[in-house]
Amino acid sequence: MRTSKLLSATVLVLFAATAAPGTSARAQQRELNVTNFIVVGEGLAAGLADFSLTSFYQDKNFAVQMARQMKTAFPQPLIQAPGIGSVPGFAALPVRIPGTQQTTVRESATAPNLFVFNLSVPGFKVTDTLNRKPASPLVHEYDLQQTVTNLILGFPGLLLKGAEVWTQLEYARQMRPTFVIVELGYAEVLEAAVKGDPTLLPDVAAFRADYGKVLSGLRETFAEVMALTIPDPMDTAFFMTPESATTYVGAPASVIRNLYKLSGGDLLTVPGLIAVGNQLGSGVVKPLPPGAVITGSAASQITARVKALNSEISSQAQSSGAVVHDLAALFSRIKSGEIAVGTRQITADYLVGGFYSLNGSFPGIVGQALIANDVLATVNKTYGTSFASVNVEALLPVDPAAANIAPAVREYTMEELQEMIPNLQELLSSDLPGPSGNESPGAAESGSVRQSPPRKEPGVSRSNAPKLPVKGDLR
Are 283 and 258 in contact by the 8 Å Cβ rule? The answer is no
Q: Give yes or no for a contact between 118 and 74, defined as CB atoms under 8 angstroms apart.
A: yes
Give pLDDT tens digits along the chain (475 positions): 444 444 344 433 333 444 444 444 444 557 899 999 999 999 999 999 999 999 999 999 999 999 999 999 999 999 999 999 999 999 888 888 898 889 888 886 544 467 999 999 999 999 999 999 999 999 998 999 999 999 999 988 888 888 899 999 999 999 999 999 999 999 999 999 999 999 999 999 999 999 999 999 999 999 999 999 999 999 999 999 999 999 999 999 999 999 999 998 999 999 999 999 999 989 999 999 999 999 999 999 999 999 999 999 999 999 999 999 999 999 999 999 999 999 999 999 999 999 999 999 999 999 999 999 999 999 999 999 999 999 999 999 999 999 877 666 788 888 888 888 888 888 888 765 556 543 433 343 344 444 333 333 333 333 333 333 333 333 3
Those residues with Cβ within 8 angstroms of residue 308's Cβ, 6 or more apart along the chain or in another chain: 204
Report the C-alpha gap between 39 and 36 in whole angstroms: 10
H helix intervals, 283-349: 296-320, 327-336
Is the bond preceding 134 in cis, omega lying within 30 degrees of 0?
Answer: no
What stretch of H or E contains 400? helix 400-403
Q: What integer pLDDT is reported at residue 275 of this predicted model?
A: 97
- What is the reported pLDDT for 213? 98
Nearest-angstrom CA–CA distance, 202 and 252: 37
For 108: left if phi > 0, alpha if psi spans -120 to 50, otherwise beta; the answer is left
DSSP state of 225: E
